[in-house]
Amino acid sequence: MKMPAASARMATQLAPSVQVSGLYVAAVPSVATESAAYLTLKNTGKTALILTGVSSPAARVGMLMTMKRMGAPGNALDMTAMKMVTDFALRPGQSLTFAPSGAHLMLSRLTGPLSVVGQTVPITLNFRGGAVLRLAAPVRRLQ
């Protein structure tokens, strides 16, 4: 498994080949019940990867989410809506970025505060076929 040096300590098990970069969990006020994880995944293997889920002991519920703009920019009815999806596909060589205002990994019903910048949050990504990627995401202010 090839990973950038800064991210190498984050992976403990993954059958397919994937690079991880830019991983963090958004710091939220201590009373918040939700946060999100952001990162970029790159499929460096020769077969497609299907991300099917996310979990963390920091949240009772983990969800794969997308953001969809509804309405026209500048229109009073212009708004963005989140939608849960069942999976994300990554073709060989393809990258997928989870970022604010886009696809993201929602952590809901938090089990404790995620307000301390620098604390580490364990996150597990599940892929079709049973492969998992265990990550240690630092908490950072939203970028």
Question: What pLDDT, on the 0 to 100 scale, is given for residue 10?
Answer: 39
pTM for this prediction: 0.82
Residue reference for tokens 């970028």: 143
What integer is the mean pLDDT of 62-82?
Answer: 74
In terms of average pLDDT, the best of 9-13, 67-71, 75-79 is 67-71
DSSP symbols for 65-134: EEEEEES-TTSTT-EEEEEEES-EEE-TT-EEEE-TTSSEEEEEEESS---STT-EEEEEEEETTS-EEE
What's the pLDDT tens digit per position in 14-27?
545 899 999 999 99
Q: Where are the domains of the chain?
A: 5-113+121-130
Determine the residue type at 14.
L
Question: Confidence band (pLDDT; 50, 70, 90) for 63?
Answer: very high
What integer is the mean pLDDT of 78-106?
Answer: 89
Question: What pLDDT, on the 0 to 100 scale, is given for residue 70?
Answer: 65
CATH topology of domain 5-113+121-130: Immunoglobulin-like (2.60.40)
